[in-house]
Structure 1
Amino acid sequence: MLNLMYEKNRKENGMALMDALVGVFLVLIIFLGIFGAYLLGLKVVSQSRSRTDATSIANEKIEAIRNMSYSAVGVIGGYPSGGISQEENVARNGVNFTVTTRIDYINDSFDGVEGDSCPNDYKKADVRVSWSNQFSGDVDLMTDISPNGISQECADVGGTMSVAVFDASGISITGANVDVEDVVSGLEKSCITDSGTCLFVLPEAVGAYKIFVSKDNYSAERTYEKNELVGSVVLANPGKPHATIFEGQVTSISFSIDKLSGMSSDTQAPESVGWWTDIFTDQSKISSMSNVAVIDGEARLEDAHAEPSGYLISSAITSAQLINWKEFSFDNYEPANTSLKYQIFYFVVDLGDWILIPEADLPGNSVGFAVSPIDISGLNAIQYPEIRLKANFSTSDSSSTPVLYGWTISWRKSEPIKIPNLEFHLQGTKSLGTDSNGNPVYKYSEDHISDLSGRIDISDLEWDSYSFAVDKSATGFDLLSTEPVQPVDVLPDTIQPIILNLAAEDTLLATVKDSTSFDPIFAASVRVYNVYLEYDQLLPTNELGKAFFMPLEEANYNIEVQSPGYSIYTGTVFVSGSSAETIQLTRL
């Protein structure tokens, strides 16, 4: 009974605690909502008060400008020149306001832009008042100030600069930023294009106006000073030099910008080497044999007393990505009075049978090969897409037999291998001008390096035609081709995929297998190094137990292979051309 009462009280207390927690949670939500509304109210009140004060300050400034004489309306160090500060600080109601004043001459299109001897038709005053305390904002007011007659209009005669901005298709761009700076006096003007054009009235100056045109997520273009340093190159003769303004004349200049693009580049060897090997651990790669026994990694005559000869034929060898055959090699032992000769067959569809490859296509095949390796690169892969190997055993001594330990066929296949950390140079065709020797100075000319996966994504490229170059002396690779063929056209607002196909003269394919099961070992660490050549590379094997090293030089290399649960292997390998090495690891 007491236990029942205790259990009842415990459940009631638990329910009461849950009710209390739910209630606290609900009250918290309500108070958070009230607090958020309170903060929003504070922001609205603060912003309203600050905006009212800013509007009042701007109106005061505008009225002061309107009450000035026409000739006095101008900013200190600006054009038109006057006594108004370009920037000043005003404190009001505990808030600090920044007042920025800009005065510009306007060349109104009403009386024409071209041929207007007095382009300073009137002045435009722009007063911007901004604040930044707990909350920020700004107020912008403008007014026009007209001259009192032609004498005031022509009292300060400047020139007009017309800046037109187009995209890659020649269409005018609205909303582009045009910044103009007199590099001598420091005078600065800016404008946002309306219908693709900005007009500036500026004082006369020769080759002094630097123009910079930009827009968010667009390329940029600007003028350059003679002998300006661009990167590490002196631009002796800019194609678009700083602009000149003459009194009463119009200087027209155009710029082309467009949306930025990108490039996704893969660095790879377009081909790799395929291998077929049989070391006779079993009969899985044998199609037929006669009087030959396969035991413990050896193929030998089964009964030399009864029959002095025999043969062994491999299973069919082919590859879906075959480009051409490379080499046939074998490892055997021929005691005195014994012989092993090798031949290669191909399948004839019309006959439905395997036929010896003719002597005309493979000299020595009819008699049989006795010296390894045999170059079979001359075989036409289209005519001979599938082959079989045949080993002919014979002896004249019934107590002795030749032994075949293993044989291998290699071929070139169209399976690319990614090349990591490959440095290449990317260059556009757009020129900024020439250097002192008359050589072009390119707008884009940069070095890049692919990542560990053999890829690099290049951003912020403008539309152009781009070319690639690889320094063989620095990388060990030749650039064979690009896909698509270079120069590669990059259009505005696109991501252009590109493949760089490369080749190295000397490579090594290392294959790591279990010494008992002969299964490939995945993620084994293979280190290949040569102290004198200052080469030291560590790679993991893939799911086929392979690691590919390139570029190398023709030389001897040390090789170390490690994998958890196996003894460490150390040895040497000679690399020349497309070399291969199979390493068998022993379990601990």
Structure 2
Amino acid sequence: MVFLQRIGKMRYTKVMKSQRGTTLIEVLVGTAIIGLVFSFAITAFMLSADKLTRSKIRILAAALANEQMEIIRNLPFDQVGTQGGSPSGNLPQNQQIVRSNITFSVAIIVDWVDDPFDGQIPADTTPTDYKKVEVVISWANSGSANVKLTSNFSPKGVEAAANTGSILISVFDASGLPVSQADITLTNNNLSPAINLTRQTDDSGNYQFIGYPPDLNNYHIAVTKGGYTLDQTYPVSAENPNPIKPDISVIANEVTSSSFAIDRVSSLAVATQNATCQAIGNIGFNLKGQALIGNPPPNPVLKYDEDHTTDAAGNKTISNLGWDNYMLTLLGTSRNITGIIPPTSLNVLPNTNANLTLVLSDSYSTDSLLANVKDANTNLPISGASVRLVYGTYDETKITGQGAWLQTDWNGGSGQALFTDATKYFEDNGAVEVNATPGQVSMIKSTSNPNLAESFDSDANKDATASNAVWDTSAGEIRLPQTGGVYDFNATAQSLQLTTPAGKIVSATLTVDEELNGQTVRYYLSADGASFEAVTPGNLHNFVQTGGDLRFRVEFSTTDQNQTPVVRSLGIALTIETYANSGSLTSSTFDTGSASSFIMLNWNPENQPSEVGSESVRFQLAANDDNATWDFVGPDGTAGTYYTVSGTPIAGALQNKRYIRYKLFLQTADVKYSPAISGVSIDYTSGCTPPGQAFFGGLSSATTYQVTIQKSGYVDLVVDVDISGNLQNTFQLTPN
């Protein structure tokens, strides 16, 4: 009975389990799985539908392109042209066409082609050989997936009419390098129909406009590119009666050439504030460059001459500036400029972001003097100079603000973390030299002493064009030649370039095995392959003209034609100097004492020997507030760029820091030569004190003041200055 009861209980329990409901967790898991399946299915469906739609649009675009090209093919040759283009015709350059509720943009480009088969301009006076037509179909979000068809159209029998001219455009940047893909817009509203079209330069920065109607000074050309400046021709007008680059002419059967210079635009951020660094808003100022677009008479016309106003926070960023030297003056009569950081003249380089701070007075003076005191040799601002202004009972002295951190000597060596000894620095990589020449950093120089031998048993080194002596390889000697059974009075044996290790040959010692026989032998060596210098065997010779091309010359002479001197071998012991390929030096830390504005990096000399190659001198800068984090960067604030031009503005990422270092990188393309630096300076201001400047307000108009400027280490300067209006003068002090 017990056994039967257990069996019954087990069956009951199993039945109860089989009749249990689904739990909430199981429902949620199942729902999630179904959701994922549907999500994948919907995504796949949407991708498939999108691909199908794009394929459909592209098919429609291709059909439309073929349709347009077929229309053009059915036109007479003379009518294949665009409205406002050359060749001209009735085809629109741009139009919108709707197909299946999709709006397509249709661009038609027609150009003459100068085929090289019959010569090209300027030799080919009829360069209008045939027409090239491009039909480009694009649509919303098509990107680079547009459809383009190209076809050539030739005239029947002969080329087109020759009564046309051509224009050759060359576009380059501020460095003289060609600019590819620059947009050239050519317009001429004097013709009927008018011309208005845009083309792009090739990889060499050139484009030829072929087959255009003759017209004098009415073709206007504007050249630019995304992110670049604009250069253009100008019509004669009342505002510009004598343009430097007037609208050009097209002359029949001739080519008119014109060049244009564009480069990446820059920006200038101007801030206006008072002497305590408080922003002053809504200040008007004028900014003008030096580049001209028109000559006198009556007056020169500047390319850039604009008025601006800072915002309520005292800031104004001027974008799209071209490279130029700019000048800034204040508008209105509410305040004076008491300091400019950096100085008034701004050399704006391409693709830079410069910063300019104007320190303004609290009131306005009709007559004032802003004195800029600079070093006559380095043109750097001088801080701590006393400027005394005297007229009658007026007698006032002011001290110029902070100026520049300058280092001109490194022979104290490395190991100095903080800049306290002006002759020391932090570290180098072991490949720079700081002691060879006082006040100069260059690449380290190594010396080798190879030995060369010439036994004359081969004529491989013989310079046949410069030698008339006997080079006897069987006897292993050189000697005078014979004529009619007697020796000539004189003869020369000269070598080709001898194989030497790379480097600069600076000295040599010649040894010889000779038999004079009572006659004379003179010896010469050349280190540069051109300048032969007399040497005495056994004596060290220091070359006047050093180089890397070693040659020898032996001159024989006799007074007895029955005798000849003989040279059986030469030995040359050389001293060759070789510079390291590259090296670096990191300065000590310069402590400005407070958060500072770092303005410009300068170094001397600015130009290096051509043999070392381009960008042989490069710098990076690092600044911080903890005197520990040294992340060196270039002018754009990144670690991948370098300062390669002295006078470049310092990156904005380094501003408002207390500590700064520079890192110098030297490199050479020819190990016989080394770049060298004799001075490095960083212009800066701490707080709002402009470097090397002093302001005097409330002066008397039309009055001559005596200015006396003194600074320890400089010759006193005493000059007279005529005050009229708000004057900005630069005074240069000469070092003792």
TM-score (normalised: structure 2): 0.42
Give the deviation of 1:57 after TM superposition. Answer: 3.1
Question: Structure 1 residues 468 and 122, CA, compared in 2 at 3 Å: closer, same or farther?
Answer: same
Q: Is the 8 A contact 1:89 1:98 kept in 2?
A: yes
Deviations along 1:275-319, whole A, 9 cap, x unmatched? xxxxxxxxxxxxxxxxxxxxxxxxxxxxxxxxxxxxxxxxxxxxx
Confirm whether residue 478 of structure 1 aligns to residue 336 of structure 2. Answer: yes
2:302 matches 1:442: yes
State the shift of 1:102 in Å. Answer: 2.5
Q: Deviations over 1:76-115 (max 9, x none)?
A: 5643234545556666556454543332112346612224
The alpha-carbon distance between structure 1 residues 126 and 268, as it changes in their structure 2 partners (threshold 3 A), is: same
Q: Is the 8 A contact 2:131 2:152 kept in 1?
A: yes
Deviations 1:452-476 (A, max 9, x none): 4443333222211111101352x2x
| 1:199-228 CA distance string (max 9 Å, x none) | 112222222222121111111122222227
Matched-pair contact (CA < 8 Å) for 1:119–1:157: no
The reply on whether 1:212 has 2:222 as its aligned counterpart is yes
CA distance in 2, matches of 1:457, 1:238: 29
* Structure 2 residue corresponding to 1:181, chosen from 167, 184, 187: 187
Aligned match of 1:55 in 62, 68, 92? 62
Q: Which consecutive unaligned segments of at least 5 residues does structure 1 have?
A: 1-12, 229-233, 273-415, 508-552, 555-588
SS at 2:51 equivalent: helix
- Measure, in 2, the Cα distance between the counterparts of 1:72 and 1:457: 50
Flag the structure with higher strand content.
1
What CA distance in whole angstroms lies between the structure 1 residues aligned with 2:115 and 2:219?
22
Which residue type is aligned with residue 241 of structure 1? Answer: P
* 1:104 aligns to 2:111 (yes or no): yes
Q: Identity of paired residues, percent? A: 33
3-state SS of the aligned residue for 1:153? coil
Distance 1:56 1:447 in 2: 53
Cα 1:52–1:27 change in 2 (3 A) is same
Aligned with 2:208 (options 193, 199, 218): 199
User: Secondary structure of 2:343's match?
Assistant: coil
Aligned partner of 1:224 in structure 2 is 234
Note closer, same or farther for the CA distance 1:18–1:472 as it changes in structure 2 (3 Å cut).
Answer: farther
CA RMSD of aligned residues (A): 3.5
- For residues 157-188 of structure 1, what are the alpha-carbon distances to aligned partners after superposition, in whole Å with 9 as ceiling and x for unaligned? 32111111111111100111111111234322
The within-5 A match list for 1:5-24 is: none
SS at match of 2:87: coil
Q: TM-score, normalised by structure 1?
A: 0.52
The equivalent residue for 2:479 is none
For 2:290 and 2:331, how far apart are their aligned partners in 1?
A: 20
- What is the CA–CA distance in structure 2 between the aligned matches of 1:430 and 1:25, rounded to whole Å? 70
Write the distance in 2 (CA, Å) between the matches of 1:32 and 1:464.
59
1:190 is matched with: 198
Match of 1:266 among 268, 271, 277: 271
Q: Equivalent residue for 1:462?
A: 322
2:336·2:364 contact (CA, 8 Å) conserved in 1?
no
- Bigger drift between 124-133 and 254-263 goes to 124-133
Which whole-Å CA distance do the structure 2 matches of 1:91 and 1:450 have between them? 48
Q: Determine helix, strand or coil for the equivalent of 2:199.
A: strand
TM superposition shift of 1:127: 1.2
Aligned to 2:289: 428
CA 1:144–1:497 in 2, change beyond 3 Å: closer, same or farther?
same
Query: Residue 158 in 1 paired to residue 170 in 2?
Result: no
Consecutive unaligned residues of structure 2, counting only runs of 5 or more, are: 1-20, 366-696, 699-736
- 1-structure distance, mates of 2:143, 2:29: 36
The answer (yes or no) to whether the contact 1:95–1:133 under 8 Å persists in 2 is no
Compared CA separation, residues 126 and 484, structure 1 to 2 (3 A): same
SS state at 1:421 partner: coil
Q: Secondary structure at the match of 2:272?
A: strand
Query: Aligned pair in 2 of structure 1 residues 79, 263: CA closer, same or farther (>3 Å)?
Result: closer
Q: Taking structure 1 as reference, are residues 491 and 134 closer, same or farther at Cα in structure 2, changes over 3 Å only?
A: closer
Size of the aligned set, in residue pairs, is 342
- Structure 1 residue 49, shift from structure 2 partner: 2.0
Which residue number corresponds to residue 587 of structure 2? Answer: none
Are the equivalent residues in 2 in contact too, given 1:106–1:123 (CA < 8 A)? yes
Contact 1:208 1:244 in 2 (8 A): yes
**Aligned ranges for residues 219-298 of structure 1 at < 5 Å?**
219-227=229-237, 234-270=239-275
Q: Equivalent residue for 2:178?
A: 172
Could you say if the C-alpha distance between residues 440 and 18 of structure 1 is closer, same or farther in structure 2, counting changes exceeding 3 Å? farther
Q: 1:128-139 maps to which residues of 2 (within 5 A)? A: 128-132=136-140, 138-139=146-147
Q: Which residue of 2 aligns with 1:530?
A: none
The answer to whether the Cα contact below 8 Å between 1:472 and 1:478 also exists between their aligned partners in 2 is no
Q: 1:178 to 1:109 in 2, by over 3 A?
A: farther
Matches within 5 A, 1:346-365: none
8 Å CA contact 1:203, 1:245 repeated in 2: yes
Q: Which amino acid aligns with 1:40?
A: L
Shift of the 23–212 alpha-carbon distance from structure 1 to 2, 3 Å rule, reads: farther
Taking a change above 3 Å as real, the CA distance of residues 20 and 500 of structure 1, as seen in their structure-2 partners, is: farther
Once the two structures are superposed, the pairs formed by residues 559-570 of structure 1 within 5 Å of their partners are none
Aligned to 1:126, the other structure's residue is in SS state strand
Alignment partners' CA distance in 2, 1:264 and 1:26: 58
Report if aligned partners of 2:84, 2:196 keep a CA contact under 8 Å in 1: no
Distance 2:312 2:329 in 1: 20
Give 1:196's aligned amino acid.
G
Q: Which residue is equivalent to 1:503?
A: 361
Q: For residues 93 and 363 of structure 2, what CA distance do their matches in structure 1 show? A: 67
2: CA distance, partners of 1:32 / 1:465: 62
